[in-house]
Amino acid sequence: MTPELENFCRRIGYQFADEQLLLRALRHRSCGADNNERLEFLGDGLLNLIIAESLFHRFSDVKEGQLSRLRANLVNGVTLSELATEMEFGAVLQLGEGERQSGGRQRASIRANAVEAVIGAIYLDSDFATTQQKVLTWYGSRLEEIDLAEPQKDAKTRLQEWLQARGKALPSYTLQASEGADHAQQFHIACKVAALKNAVIATGSSRKKAEQAAAQQVLELLEGSQNG
């Protein structure tokens, strides 16, 4: 294993027995057919289960709707991209030449997908209990800092309310493209609001995830321009 990968394993707190699993988890589809999309699919399911179970036991009096919103805020692309940044996924991602030249190493969706793929790889390399322990360690501070008094709303809802509060037109979401096999599709959604000159395009493994990611980016741009 290279020094870069060894350092990465120390950062995530897990040493792989099968180095090839790790390499595949870090390999973007721009590198070819042997990529991380299937591991991402597996990791996505594991992540949702692990976080759902943690929230279920942590907040015994909270109803299903709020639990769902809490989980959505923890497993969305924004949070996953933040985790990838904290653990420096960008230093070890494997990208095709075109993706590298276009700044793919910094692309939030690529980093977020890699986190899910690594979760899937850890599971295949070990077992569920080990995977659960690693994920909960990564999410430790985020789980501890949950404040039930704060409204837990998804990005589309928050964007809509932000625009409505200022008397502005609601956003429109347009599917730009979808690609990939049925089990590993990627959706490209454009979110357009009158306050921004250009639409924001985001990618997700479902149309819903792509819309949420686009809404989050638009909201950050609007709030940034207002604060500026």
Is 37 part of any known ligand binding site? no
Is 113 part of any known ligand binding site? yes
Q: How confident is the model at residue 59 (pLDDT cuts 50, 70, 90)?
A: very high
CB within 8 Å of 175: residues ≥ 6 apart: 187, 188, 189, 207
CB within 8 Å of 51: residues ≥ 6 apart: 71, 74, 75, 135, 139
> Could you count the other beta carbons within 10 Å of the beta carbon of residue 182?
5
Is 116 part of any known ligand binding site? yes
Compute CA distances 14 → 76, 83, 119, 220, whole Å: 23, 15, 11, 33
CA–CA dist 110, 40 (Å, integer): 11
- Is there a common fold for 3-144 and 155-227? no
Radius of gyration of the chain (CA): 18
Lowest mean pLDDT among 45-54, 90-99, 176-185: 176-185
Please report the beta strands in the chain, taking only residues with DSSP state E, as ranges in sequence order.
172-179, 186-192, 200-204
Rounded to an integer, the average pLDDT of 41-68 is 94
CB within 8 Å of 83: residues ≥ 6 apart: 115, 138, 139
CATH architecture of 3-144: Orthogonal Bundle (1.10)
Domain spans, the chain: 3-144, 155-227
Specify whether the CB–CB gap between 87 and 134 falls below 8 A: no
CATH architecture of 155-227: 2-Layer Sandwich (3.30)
Lowest mean pLDDT among 100-104, 108-112, 188-192: 100-104
Residues 60-101 pLDDT 10s:
999 998 898 889 889 988 788 889 989 999 899 999 988 888
| H/E stretch holding 137 | helix 128-138
**What global pTM score does this model have?**
0.69
Positions annotated as catalytic residues are 44, 116
pLDDT surpassing 80 at residue 184: no
Q: Which residue has the higher pLDDT, 136 or 100?
A: 136
